[in-house]
Amino acid sequence: MTEEGKDGRRGVSIGRRQRKNEGRLKATGAAMYADDLRLPRMLFAKTVRSTEPHARIVRIDFSEAKKLPGVIETLAGHELPERYGVIPWTQDEQALCVDKVRFVGDPVAAVAALDERTAEEACALVRVEYEKLPALMDPDEALARTDVLIHDERGANHQDNLTKRVQLAFGPVDEKLAQSASIAEADFFYEGSTHAPIEPHCALAQWDGVTLTVWSSTQIPHYVHRALSKVLGLSAARVRVIQPVVGGAFGGKSDPFSLEFCVAKLAMKTGRPVKMLYTREEVFYAHRGRHPMKMRYRVGLSKEGAIEAVDSKIVIDGGAYASFGLVTAYYAGQLLTGPYRFGTYRFDAARVYTNKPPCGPKRGHGSVQPRFAFECALDMAAEKLGIDPIEVRRRNFVGENTETVNGQWITSNGFMQCLESVERASGWRERRGKLGFGRGLGVAGSMYISGTAYPVYPNQMPQSGVVVKLDRSGRVTVYCGASDIGQGINTLLAQIPAEELGCDPEDVSVVAADTDLTPVDLGAYSSRVTYMCGLAAIEACRKLRAQLDEVSEATDPFALRVEKAEAKAGTTLVSSGAYRTQKLGADYRGGTIGASPAYSFSAHVAQVSVDAETGLWKVERIWAAHDCGKALNPTLVEGQIEGSVYMGAGEAQMEAHTVYPENGLLRAPNLLDYRIPTSLDTPEIDSLIVESNDPSGPYGAKEAGEGPLHPAIPAIANAIHDAVGVRLTRLPFSPGDILRALRERKC
């Protein structure tokens, strides 16, 4: 053990490179995912899905399906009519469609059978009669139409297809634009994309007549628990949700889904366990991926390069259901106002229903698309003034311990160090603009939240709770409702007791994501887990450490220290800690959305090569610097940076989740046609950790899971401009787009 730090910590774990504590299980195949679970007498369920993009359900006929040997039970929407949704104010989903369908693939009915193949065959025999309705595939058309309502059940107060519209202004934008020495004005389009986790959605339910237990590959067990109680009409005390090992999520498992309700109801109807596993095609239908956005940006700079005004108008294609869409509409504007200081700012964001698979939160929720548009527009405006792209970002640095134009409080801020890191590592000063035609460098920066200030549903209870128990053997058990979706929170929850108590991290067991056994944690979204669970775990451990220190020396074996403390206490040593909501955000409607206890900062430089004859292009290398406050486990932080950069590069190069407008069918609902980067498409990635040591974070830490994605796309776009002199404003960047832009430049 090293000497104690100034604050009494022992320094044995935090800041050191460690493997994930479940890594061996995953590598050897011993980890148990939801589909690995088997229970006696288990049935298998499958879903009947809509073949129409928009239609009323006239009749559902199960008669032929029920004749098939091995079919045990069927389920229709009227048996689960209660509406739900993760956001309390926009609950517009039903487990199975009751009155009408809203996209091709919308779940209509379910069948449980003795095996999966029989369930699939039975679904094909279910006959659904539809009355077709006009389908709205374009968000602009959906915004303009009031004669066709995708959600006509919302009542007289909702005579449109808007999920949410946000219009906010900070300062005299038009006046400042008129005074600007340089204005960049352009339209941008960001195509939607899906998460493509290795593991599809899967859920298994068991009903014992008293308690319903659901195992689900979710990243929000607490919200699934709430939704199951609501939809099934069961007391929350009679519902248990367990998250097994999850094979990736990236935001795609942040909603309650149809399959969780279906297996629960079918288990209650049959008295037998029921499992449902989505096919890869069904994962594409369930979706909740990145929202397509049409964005109009105007950015005005003074002659010195200061950002005088930013004006944006955004139309967001939300798909058929709200999901997190209310938040998306705010995030599209509220999270743009750092790491730069804006003189004035205005945004108008409309999230619109369409007859497509529903969009939701994907890594960097709601703010990746506007960041692409703004960072490109900033380069365009700076170019007119002859200011270097890194220099214009340096001149507009917002600072630390300061407030943004829209009232968000920034504590620590390592953005300048991020800029310096990528500038130096990439050889920017020596190489930018000097690589020859066809090769170029581009830069971009960003800011992101370390958890939302407020829970999804309003309450005064802790957002995250941790219980720590010490055993006289020297074993430590940590109980927390947090969801490990690959980011490594279970590893961190073992590191913190090792740091605070002086035990071996391998002697720490973590019991997580079980609503019966663990305190509430709201889930793995908005990069909240390390910050909030970390603070809760530190609080719990420090209470126990005080008991240990009272009766023994730090040099005693850990088990002996526990024995002495337990003998004095006369009871098992148990302590709890929590993260409590802080009052943050500005005092205007929506001013708390986007408010966070800390913000991370990133800067990227991308290097690309472009063949002007064919339009083929490649990202050769990306230098990515990220201010994570404090790298609690540098190996995991670097992994998060690399994963974010990989995902951003994939969206820039090839990813597009689209439908055929004439019939609403998905263009590529499989991983053969929907392309994601292989190792051959992935650039060299230099992960550069910057530590600003946030005063409020756990050991100074901030987020590292989503923030590093944001600059990748605009840095690539700006690098393509440096390489061949054309501006690409629509994602993904295809070779054809480059050739068209080159031809237009010559004309």
The residues pairing with 128 across neighbouring beta strands, listed in sequence order, are 60
What span, in angstroms and rounded, lies between the C-alpha atoms of 486 and 506? Answer: 19
Residue range 479-526, pLDDT digits in tens:
999 999 999 999 999 999 999 999 999 999 999 999 999 999 999 999
Does residue 83 contact residue 20 with C-beta atoms inside 8 Å?
Answer: no
The label of the residue with tokens 């390592």 reads 414
Whether the predicted pLDDT of 695 surpasses 80: yes
User: Can you read off the two tokens belonging to residue 404?
Assistant: 């943004």
Indicate whether 442 and 311 sit together in one domain.
yes
CA-closest candidate to residue 241, choices 278, 206, 271: 206
**Is 78 within the bounds of a domain?**
yes
204 & 72 share domain? yes
What confidence category does residue 7 fall into, taking pLDDT thresholds of 50, 70 and 90? very low
Residue range 321-342, pLDDT digits in tens: 999 999 999 999 999 999 999 9
Dihedrals phi, psi of 722, to nearest 5 degrees:
-65, -30
Does residue 186 sit within a domain? no
Q: Are residues 594 and 682 in the same domain?
A: yes
CA distance 670 to 387: 45
Q: Which of 372, 227, 346 is nearest to 291 (CA)?
A: 372
- Would you say residue 555 lies in a domain? yes
Contact present, 184 and 298 (Cβ < 8 Å): yes
Token reading at 599? 């913000």
Q: Which pLDDT value is given to residue 11?
A: 62
The answer to whether residues 270 and 305 belong to one domain is no
Burial of 442 (0-12, 13-18, 19+ CB in 10 A): buried
pLDDT tops 50 at residue 3: no
65 touches 71 (CB < 8 A): yes
Could you tell me the pLDDT band of residue 156, with boundaries at 50, 70 and 90? Answer: confident
Report the C-alpha gap between 551 and 567 in whole angstroms.
10
Please check whether residues 559 and 639 belong to one and the same domain.
Answer: no
Q: Which two tokens stand for residue 100?
A: 């009408």
Distance of CA 23 to the CA centre of its chain: 22
- Summarize pLDDT for 611-629 with one digit per residue, the tens: 999 999 999 999 999 999 9
Same domain, 84 and 215: yes
Same domain, residue pair 425 and 478: no
393/479 same-domain check: no
Per-residue confidence (pLDDT) for residue 745, from 0 to 100: 87
Per-residue pLDDT reduced to its tens digit, 72-108: 999 999 999 999 999 999 999 999 999 999 999 999 9
Indicate whether 552 belongs to any domain.
yes
Overall domain count for the chain: 3
Domain extent at residue 222: 34-133+200-246+253-286
Q: Please choose, from the candidates 364, 389, 365, 371, the residue with its C-alpha nearest in 3D space to the C-alpha of residue 310.
A: 371
Average pLDDT over residues 225-243: 98
Euclidean distance between CA atoms 242 and 477, whole angstroms? 18
Give the integer Cα–Cα distance in Å for 30 and 199: 15
Q: What is the mean pLDDT of residues 304-330?
A: 98
Q: Determine the pLDDT at residue 581.
A: 87
- On the question of pLDDT at 256 being above 90, the answer is yes
CATH number of the domain bearing residue 263: 3.90.1170.50
In a domain, 266, yes or no: yes
Run of H or E residues at 277: strand 274-277
Radius of gyration over every alpha carbon of the chain, rounded to an integer in angstroms: 26
> What is the three-state SS of 512-570?
ECECCCCCCECCCCCCCHHHHHHHHHHHHHHHHHHHHHHHCCCCCCHHHHHHHHHHHHC
pLDDT at residue 462, as a whole number: 95
User: CA angle, corner 617, sides to 183 and 289, nearest 5?
Assistant: 75
Residue 151, CA distances (Å) to 51, 91, 100, 160, 660 in order: 18, 11, 9, 9, 22
> Cβ-count burial of 671 within 10 angstroms (0-12 exposed, 13-18 middle, 19+ buried)?
middle
Side-by-side strand order, sheet with 476-480 = 508-512, 476-480, 464-470, 573-579
Tell me whether residue 355 is in a domain. Answer: yes
Residue 303 token pair? 């002659």
Cis bond before residue 357 (omega within 30° of 0):
no
Say whether 92 sits in a helix, a strand or coil: coil
- Whether the pLDDT of residue 595 is over 50: the answer is yes
CA 100 to chain centre: 29
- Domain-embedded: residue 400: yes
- Identify the pLDDT of residue 10: 54
279 is a domain residue: yes
Single out the residue in 530, 560, 579 at which a domain terminates. 579
Out of 561, 579, 597, a domain closes at 579
Residue 220 in this model has a pLDDT that exceeds 80: yes
Per the CB < 8 A criterion, the answer to whether 133 and 61 are in contact is no
Residue reference for tokens 């959600």: 151
Query: Which tens digits make up the pLDDT trace of 130-142?
Result: 999 999 999 999 9
What's the pTM value of the predicted model, to 2 decimals? 0.96
Residues 420 and 379 in one domain: yes
**Is 682 buried (19+), middle (13-18) or exposed (0-12) by CB count in 10 A?**
middle
DSSP track, 658-704: -B-TTT--BS--STTTS----TTTPPEEEEEEE----SSSGGG----
The type of residue at 225 is H
Across the chain, what does the average pLDDT equal? 96
* Strand, helix or coil for residue 221: helix
Helices in 41-81 by DSSP H: which ranges?
63-67
Is pLDDT above 50 for 5? Answer: no
Domain end point (choices 531, 562, 579): 579
Residues 548 and 596 grouped into a single domain = no
CA angle centred on 524, ends 646 and 687, rounded to 5°: 30
User: Which CATH number characterizes residue 398's domain?
Assistant: 3.30.365.10
pLDDT at 747: 72
- Same domain, yes or no, for 475 and 494? yes
Q: Average pLDDT, stretch 204-232?
A: 98
Same domain, 720 and 618: yes
